[in-house]
Amino acid sequence: MSEALRTDLYQLTMMQAYWKSSHNPIATFDYFVRKIPSGSYLVSAGLIYILDYIENLRFEDDDIDYLKTQDFDEVFLEHLRDFKFTGDILAMPEGSLAFPLEPIIRVTAHIMEAQLVETFVLNKMNFSTLIATKATRIVHAAHGRAIAEFGLRRAQGDGFLEATRATYIGGCASTSNVLAGKKFGIPISGTMAHSFVTSFDHEIDSYRAYAAAFPKRCFLLIDTYDSIEGAKKAVVVGKELEEKGERLLGVRLDSGDLCELSKQVRKILDDGGLRYVKIVASGDLNEWKIDELMNKGARIDMFGVGTELITGRPNPALDGIYKLSDVIERGKHIPKMKLSEETKKATLPGKKRVWRIIEDGKFVKDIIALDHEIIKNAAPILSQIVKNGKIVCKKPSLDKIRQIASENISKLPDIYKKLDNASEYPVEFSRELTELREKIVDKIRKEE
């Protein structure tokens, strides 16, 4: 199914204006982020949606019929019936680390085509990259403890699938989202709700009922009334499971002083001969709270994180942008850039690539260079995914993307992974890019 109308109105009005003025040069646009909301890095995610979009991009008859009601030129609309994307796209593979100002995606196509895809690229990449990055921060804070994503009920509407996929790329071990488990093959996990416990006359009756229903995957929620007493009852049920040849897998704490309670519950479980039972903690957790718990020596084996992860809180959106950087006119490349009164909103001109210097298995710095430049002793980060409108890259499995992200995070020095006041990863401009930028700035100021 085509999603050609999943765009902003001004993309279509600009397309008609380009068409009417016979102005449709080959243009290059860069998708990048000026400022990272939390931390020093981003984990690129969402590219798979761009590939699917490009493969199916066309205007259906009902799309054309709708646009006829919106005051578009009917001849232009007939032109759209044969529309397809015919350009090239380079991108950082999903799971790559990206830093400010670096082109994460580079689109080169006739400007009408490149303009149309802007909104979709921003919509998909901004959201998935935000959530994948948030997930890596939470996973890092957990110091090797598994993170289960519990955010479905707090996700932004239909974005729940994209968000859960992104959390898995970022390193989460499982999800409560059953549809995401089916669709993406992500392991699913969960325990029970407080309502299950309170629906029985006695707490231990609820535990026994759950253990009878799921003897091989039994997790018990122990904080409904009193966490310590709940833990003692869990020991009773755990021993009953042992008699049947099964094992209680874990108990979950969802409120109270999680650090102190985890220590007390651990002792109760150990004294009861259930050293193998895991302790899961949940309840409005984020990377800072998890980091604090770990630093205080909490005896928690796994964290369930919902709202704070699935929404990217405290940053509701990633401010990624898509800017024109080059136009071919009469066979000649004309570098383009935005020059704003706000210096931070200026852009980098020309077709560019990103190179990464790696030493002793660790990322050292990145260099943004013009397309024709080769940076010695550095690895190129952008790779071609679309050529002449056709997909030319392999679509790696989600597990492979997750592995790529994990490997990249492991290569980033710890000073850049601090939750607060992380050092700024060095991103440099090549000499030729710097000179080109200065030349264009001077030219614009003289002419404008």
Residue 442 has pLDDT above 60, yes or no: yes
Q: Which position has the token pair 């997909």? A: 391
Q: Give me the mean pLDDT over the 295-323 stretch.
A: 96
Residue 197 has pLDDT above 60, yes or no: yes
pLDDT digits (tens, 9 = 90+) for 359-384: 999 999 999 999 999 999 999 999 99
CA distance 382 to 118: 18
Class of the CATH-defined domain 9-128+322-396+422-447: alpha beta
Beta bridge partners of 328: 26, 333
By residue count, the chain amounts to 448
Residue 446 has pLDDT above 90, yes or no: no
For the range 229-236, what are the long-range contacts, defined as Cβ-Cβ under 8 Å and sequence gap of 24 or more?
Answer: 229/203, 230/203, 231/264, 231/265, 231/268, 231/269, 232/268, 232/272, 233/203, 233/204, 233/207, 234/207, 234/269, 234/277, 235/268, 235/269, 235/272, 235/274, 236/204
pLDDT digits (tens, 9 = 90+) for 397-406: 999 999 999 9
Q: Provide the token pair at 113.
A: 């085509």
Q: How confident is the model at residue 447 (pLDDT cuts 50, 70, 90)?
A: confident
CATH 3.40.630.30 fits 132-310, yes or no: no
Q: Which residues are CB-neighbours of 115 under 8 A, at least 6 positions away?
A: 11, 14, 15, 18
CA distance between the termini of the chain: 45
Residue 64 has pLDDT above 80, yes or no: yes
Residue 44 has pLDDT above 80, yes or no: yes
Q: Are 103 and 368 in contact (CB under 8 A)?
A: yes
Q: Give me the mean pLDDT over the 16-39 stretch.
A: 96
C-alpha torsion angle, residues 349, 352, 358, 363 (rounded to 10): 50
Could you tell me the residue ranges of all domains in the chain?
A: 9-128+322-396+422-447, 132-310
What's the predicted TM-score (pTM) here? 0.95
Residue 342 has pLDDT above 60, yes or no: no
Q: What is the pLDDT of residue 448?
A: 59
Residue 346 has pLDDT above 80, yes or no: no
Look at residues 142, 120, 108, 136 and name the one whose alpha carbon lies nearest to residue 44.
Answer: 136
Q: How confident is the model at residue 339 (pLDDT cuts 50, 70, 90)?
A: confident
Burial class of 406 by CB neighbour count within 10 A (0 to 12, 13 to 18, 19+): middle
Report the amino acid identity of residue 32. Answer: F
Q: What is the pLDDT of residue 444?
A: 79
pLDDT digits (tens, 9 = 90+) for 201-259: 999 999 999 999 999 999 999 999 999 999 999 999 999 999 999 999 999 999 999 99
For the range 222-225, what are the long-range contacts, defined as Cβ-Cβ under 8 Å and sequence gap of 24 or more?
Answer: 222/251, 222/252, 222/253, 222/265, 223/252, 223/253, 223/254, 223/255, 223/256, 223/261, 224/194, 224/197, 224/198, 225/197
Q: Provide the token pair at 102.
A: 């670096």
Per-residue b or e along 213-228, where b marks 16 or more CB atoms closer than 10 Å to that residue's CB: eeeeebbbbbbbeebe
Q: Give me the mean pLDDT over the 271-284 stretch.
A: 97
Look at residues 390, 377, 270, 317 and name the one whose alpha carbon lies nearest to residue 159.
Answer: 317
- Residue 364 phi/psi, 5-degree rounding, is -105, -50
Q: How confident is the model at residue 344 (pLDDT cuts 50, 70, 90)?
A: low
Strands 26-33 and 105-110: antiparallel
Q: What is the pLDDT of residue 345?
A: 62
Percent of the chain with pLDDT strictly greater than 90: 93
- SS3 state of residue 74: helix
Q: Which position has the token pair 């535990």? A: 207
